[in-house]
A = this chain, B = another copy of it.
Amino acid sequence: MRPEALKPAGEFSEAERDAVYRAIHERRDVRSEFLPDAISDSVLTRILAAAHAAPSVGLSQPWNFILIRDKGVRAAIRAAFERANAEAQALFEGPRQAQYGKLKLQGILEAPLNICVTCDRRRGGPVVLGRTHDNDTDLYSTVCAVQNLWLAARAEGVGVGWVSILHQSDLRRILGLPDHVTPVAYLCLGKVRDLFDRPELEARGWDRRRALGSAVFQDQWGVSGSLPEG
């Protein structure tokens, strides 16, 4: 018997499909383009609801969203970033080290809103459907929420930058995270007027996008097929 909750999916019109692809292809990792304007409550609620609609292993919904507007908290995060970033720069060698030093890799203080997206490793209890054979699937669910948030933000004219150059220990201390909660993403959000028309790291000569075909295999690792070019 078909459960009542099963309904005709309904096609997307070409315009709707194009809009989804526009968000996906025009989404950028923003570091310098944040405007100081506040994000309205209605926009923020829609963006968070989009994140909260992500798939999650066993419907465990392991994510939390810590909205950070407090300037003292953001200043502490920014200081933690500066320490970590100096460590990071020292790991590169030669001209790459100098090039790294010129990149702006965060907008923690310029962005009016920061969000730390966390994963509660205990959410859903000791045995979670679908997490029995890969314990990291709760982290993956949390990242699905991040990507939903990022695309919704793009559609709202809000830029998002993911700051990953932070010690987890600093995030735990500054934000008061319990041991069983993993900080997955530290995000900066703000309205944007301008965006890069390609990944900023490509525009600045750090690296290039790979061809899609090089990422696609057929039936086995390493077996290239002809990618349909549609």
Contacts and interface: CB of A to CB of B under 8 A. Distances in A.
Interface size class, chain A: 35 or more
Total copies of the chain? 2
Given A6-B33, A212-B48, A230-B45, A221 B22 contact: no
Contacts of A228: 41-42, 44-45
Interface string A177-212: 110010011000000111111111111101111101
A67 B151 CA distance: 25
Contacts of A185: 140
Contacts of A198: 5
Contacts of A40: 230
Nearest to A56: B199
Given A12-B19, A61-B209, A127-B91, A217 B132 contact: no
Given A6-B33, A68-B219, A129-B206, 12 more contacts: A3-B196, A6-B195, A6-B196, A11-B157, A12-B23, A12-B157, A66-B219, A84-B132, A124-B207, A134-B164, A136-B139, A176-B222
Interface of A: 2-3, 5-12, 15-17, 19-27, 29, 33, 40-46, 48-50, 52-55, 57-61, 63-70, 73, 84, 87-88, 91-92, 100, 103, 105, 118, 124, 127, 129-134, 136-137, 139-140, 143-144, 146-148, 150-152, 154-157, 159, 162, 164-168, 175-178, 181, 184-185, 192-204, 206-210, 212, 215-222, 225, 227-230
